[in-house]
Amino acid sequence: MIENTLFAQHARLADGWRRNVLLQWDATGTLTAVTPDSVAPGGVQYAAGPVMAGMPNLHSHAFQRAMAGLTEYRANPADSFWSWRELMYRFAARITPESIGAIAQWLYIEMLKAGYTSVCEFHYVHHAPDGQRYANPAEMAERVVDAAQVTGIGMTMLPVLYQYSGFGALDPRADQARFIHTPESLLASLATLRDARPENGALRYGVAPHSLRAVSAASLTRLLAGLDAGFPGAPVHIHIAEQTGEVDSCVATEGSRPVRWLLDRFDVDSRWCLVHATHVDENEVQSMAASGAIAGLCPTTEANLGDGLFPAHDFLAAQGRFGIGSDSHIAVDWRSELRLLEYGQRLLRRERNVLASSNAVHVADYLFDAAALGGAAATGRAVGVLEAGRRADWIVLDPDHPAIAGHGCEAWLSGVVFCEHGESPVLDVTVGGFKVVEGRRHRDEESAFRRYRATLEGLLA
């Protein structure tokens, strides 16, 4: 068997489905050559089905996985994101280093099995419940990084700067004590983490100012200056306009809407990911698209929390870039995110195939390629498409799955994204050249699930 080489009868490259593709990679997990129209060398390993790049998941709060399905009852006639947040804070108060590690390990196995090969972790539970620092100030983040490394998923760890409880630099609430940092203490903790767990092809660091309600212009300036000094070019993610309530508060205290405020004051470019830019006016849509920033869309969570609908049609028409995230993990499946992204627009506009473009008429193909590339930019890592110089991260579709069996390759992604029949069509998953899911199974899934279940039972006791 030839090492570090795979032959795919069909693989999706930057220019679409190609035949007889030879993939070669090096010991660091980087693709060295991707050659279509090849002849299979003797002794080469064959892919079990069509091969395509793994999807980056650009927004995750790992601990929230353990809450999925536990807040779907009416506690208040006006239940909203804000009442959900109260429940989430109570849950966050119980999380320990051990439990966040167990939850993240199970979650990342679920992600890998679904075909997510990278995750951006927007990590904000930093301290003990009373706000006391752990002996290692990066203890919680380190457990999450370790979960990524042990499961095999690529990670961009984004420790969160959370300073205030609202616009106007309001003091944090008691139940936010676990989250609180200054720009300087956050950057120091990040440097400690990087010393303990150095960056490599599968791991990168950045920062996440939580939201404009949780930082000020002055603290954001200090955070970015410190980041540039110690982590040049590192990605920056922010929750920007998830709720109409925060848009109204921003207008009342700062005189403009959040996306406009950020674009007017900071040099927002392709290193930025604006998560939940849900509530934007036409002017902000155009400016945000022109900035090159990635819109971080999390359709299943945004639907679950009743956030609102991002104007995806207008943003994509303006050549805006986007990626997808599973955020609260009510679903851990990029197919569901892309499907709901399109369905939201169909329901709103009473049209079909809304998010296609004139040069990419197949909606699912267009959304997959755009989300993979936009998500890759948000990770700050070389992923998102199969080409030399990028990571050896891919998924293999089951050629016998009813979503694609009997169809020509032009319909494969349509079947994978829009059809919901039976088990997942994702058969095998490789990250950094290592096969981590084989035949829909991750090697550690039984032990990780036992640990997750015991953790959950402890948290809910």
x/- map, 281-320, Zn ion, by CB under 5 A = ----------------------------------------
As a whole number of angstroms, the distance between CA 375 and CA 388 comes to: 18
Stretch that binds Zn ion, among 327-335, 413-421, 426-434, 441-449 (CB under 5 A): 327-335
Closer residue to Zn ion, CB minimum distance, 7 or 164: 164
H or E element at residue 254? helix 244-254
406 phi-psi bin (left φ>0, alpha ψ -120 to 50, beta other): left
The CB-nearest residue to Zn ion is 327
The CB-of-46 to Zn ion minimum distance in angstroms stands at 40
Cβ contacts of 429 within 8 Å, gap of 6 or more: 54, 112, 113, 115, 117, 394, 395, 396, 435, 436, 437
The CB-of-160 to Zn ion minimum distance in angstroms stands at 9
Closer residue to Zn ion, CB minimum distance, 139 or 327: 327
The CB-of-239 to Zn ion minimum distance in angstroms stands at 5
Closer residue to Zn ion, CB minimum distance, 327 or 369: 327
Closer residue to Zn ion, CB minimum distance, 13 or 324: 324
Stretch that binds Zn ion, among 206-214, 326-334, 409-417, 450-458 (CB under 5 A): 326-334
Closer residue to Zn ion, CB minimum distance, 327 or 428: 327
User: Of 359, 284, 272, whose CA–CA distance to 323 is shortest?
Assistant: 272
* SS3 state at 317: helix
- 307, 327, 365, 398: the catalytic one is 327
# residues contacting Zn ion (CB under 5 A): 1
328: its two tokens: 């609260």
The CB-of-136 to Zn ion minimum distance in angstroms stands at 25
Q: Provide the 8-state DSSP code for 177.
A: G
Overall size of the chain counted in residues: 461
H or E element at residue 224? helix 217-230
Stretch that binds Zn ion, among 211-219, 324-332, 367-375, 387-395 (CB under 5 A): 324-332
The reply to whether 398 belongs to the active site is no
H/E/C letters for each residue in 78-129? CCCHHHHHHHHHHHHCCCCHHHHHHHHHHHHHHHHHHCEEEEEEEECCCCCC
Closer residue to Zn ion, CB minimum distance, 88 or 371: 88
Stretch that binds Zn ion, among 45-53, 259-267, 322-330, 418-426 (CB under 5 A): 322-330
The CB-of-158 to Zn ion minimum distance in angstroms stands at 11
Cα atoms found within 13 Å of the Cα of residue 300, Cβ hemisphere only? 21
The DSSP result for 28-64, as a single string, is: TSBEEEEESSPPPPTTPEEPSS-EEEPEEEEEE-GGG
- 59, 123, 126, 276: the catalytic one is 276
| Amino acid type, 386 | L
The CB-of-276 to Zn ion minimum distance in angstroms stands at 7
Contact status, residue 103 vs residue 455, Cβ threshold 8 Å:
yes
The reply to whether 276 belongs to the active site is yes
As a whole number of angstroms, the distance between CA 370 and CA 364 comes to: 10
Closer residue to Zn ion, CB minimum distance, 59 or 222: 59
H or E element at residue 6? strand 5-13
The CB-of-131 to Zn ion minimum distance in angstroms stands at 21
The label of the residue with tokens 């909606």 reads 363
As a whole number of angstroms, the distance between CA 180 and CA 236 comes to: 18
Stretch that binds Zn ion, among 9-17, 85-93, 134-142, 321-329 (CB under 5 A): 321-329
The CB-of-161 to Zn ion minimum distance in angstroms stands at 14
CA angle 212, 217, 218 (to 5 degrees): 135
Cβ contacts of 251 within 8 Å, gap of 6 or more: 257
Stretch that binds Zn ion, among 105-113, 247-255, 325-333, 436-444 (CB under 5 A): 325-333
Closer residue to Zn ion, CB minimum distance, 31 or 212: 212
As a whole number of angstroms, the distance between CA 104 and CA 151 comes to: 9
55-60 and 51-53 strand pairing: unpaired
Active site residues: 276, 327
- Which residues contact Zn ion by CB under 5 A? 327
